[in-house]
Amino acid sequence: MSAAREYGLDEQYEWARPPAGGWTADDLEKLPNLPPHTELIDGSLVFMSPQTRFHSRTMRLLENALLDQAPEHLEAIREMTVKLDRRNRPEPDVLVVPVVADTGPTQTWFNPEDVILAVEVVSADSQDRDREVKPRKYARAGFPHFWRVEEDDGLPVVYVYELDPATKSYALTGIHHKQLKVDLPFPLDIDLTAVNRRGQQPG
């Protein structure tokens, strides 16, 4: 018995059976009842687990700091997908993109050339994707900057990477505890210990 019939669902909801060759980036717009924040990695749907408090607060801290300190032609935005190619449409936790990449209120994705910085906050169920799979894909897609954020004793530790355009791979340029101070992609100074302060503005 199919899952749809077992739970009394209509036939139209049997979307979990992938077509030959896997799903495509455009399928995310068409499949009914997808859970929030579904990603496409190598033609397979990836569903997000519930976010931890650390994950949510870290995203909020970084998004707000990036918004506050970005030059006027750039903006930070949380949890938007990027169409890397036909079979890959990941959703970085935070992105920095040009303001002109905004196509309107119904926009759901960016092109890879729009991305200035992608940030992934590592979760228990996303370690392999955030540490290995996604950085390789982001580098090949040409994202100039990538941050991987890990949790250590309740505080974020930010691993900062810069793209080597000749090899299409990332080089680690710094590991930041308590304070994130960098010159690229623009001058930034972020107090990472603020992650647990209630005074943070909601994202």
pLDDT digit string, tens, across residues 142-194 = 999 999 999 999 999 999 999 999 999 999 999 999 999 999 999 999 999 99
**Range from 13-17, 46-50, 57-61, 83-87 carrying the lowest mean pLDDT:** 13-17
CB count within 10 Å of CB 87 equals: 15
Q: Is the pLDDT of residue 45 over 90?
A: no
Residue 11: per-residue pLDDT:
47
Backbone angles phi, psi at 68, to 5 degrees: -65, -35
| CB distance 139 to 171 below 8 Å | no
pLDDT, greater one: 16 or 97: 97
Residue 7: per-residue pLDDT:
37
Cis-peptide into 185, omega within 30 deg: yes
CA gap 2, 17 in Å, rounded: 10
Residue 139: per-residue pLDDT:
98
Domains, the chain, ordered by start? 3-46 (no CATH), 53-196 (3.90.1570.10)
CB count within 10 Å of CB 4 equals: 16
pLDDT-based confidence at residue 49 (cuts at 50, 70, 90)? confident
Considering the entire predicted model, what is its pTM?
Answer: 0.85
Q: Which amino acid is at 195?
A: V
What are 99-116's pLDDT values in tens digits?
Answer: 999 999 999 999 999 999
